[in-house]
Structure 1
Amino acid sequence: MKQNNVDPEYIIFFDGICNLCNGFIDFVIKRDKAKKIFYSSLQSDISNKYINCANTQTNSSYTTIYLYKNGKVHDKSTAILMILKELSFGYRTLAGFFLLLPKVLRDSIYNFIARNRYRFFGKRDSCRLPNPEEKDQFL
């Protein structure tokens, strides 16, 4: 795991025991060829440092993904779409289209999935551990 004091430009904070969230992280890792995105579970101490410093409310059990980008924290559907914008052209285009939709509509869909994520996709007994190739991307 990354131990230096570099402040990463992009950090995804995710529910470390959620199978859907872990699947999304695997999806992003495979497509982040530049390795510019870093990762941390919401259950870690470091997530509090970044999310609380950005004055973001974390009391919603429906927020399972946050994106820290350039000092600002995005949550829910906006976080997902901003992450996709950092990937290849096709994902940027798709994200750009969905960002045109009203946030209230996007977040309603997000909240439904987040509320039912364990029932639909299951959960792990413990947080995800990165493999040796991924460990430098995890905080």
Structure 2
Amino acid sequence: MTDEELARIDGRDGVGLAVHLELNSALLDGRPTDSRLTAGFNVNGTTTYAVVQNLAGVMDMIAVTLNVRSRPDGGDYIDVGLPSFVGFRQFGFRALAAQTDPLAPIAPSASYGQLLLNGTGAMTGHVYLWAQ
């Protein structure tokens, strides 16, 4: 959409979002892969990398809402409604490490661990955002 088209939209009932996210689904099929998410930090001339290895899985999130509402004092705020359903299938990362070579193998003894989520959940509530 162009800015002009977007400006003509009137979202009186807000916006509802549903997300189906698949990351590196080759891992879910059992195919070998070595994907990495890295961030480098230079301290005293040495660059160290935070490495997240094989971030993958499936996440479903339904009914996240986004509304602009008016405050009693005359200002506006953004109302983000939390999702009523979240589901995960093998969602997470297989290793987390800090090392000077971002492409070096992560030894099991050097990994800070892994995070894998499986299951479903429901949330209720809202997050409100406004300017001061």
TM bucket, shorter chain:
under 0.3
Relative contact order, CA 8 A, sep 6+: which one is greater? 1
Larger radius of gyration: 2
TM-score of the pair, normalised by structure 2: 0.20
Greater helix fraction, Structure 1 or Structure 2: 1
**Greater share of strand:** 2
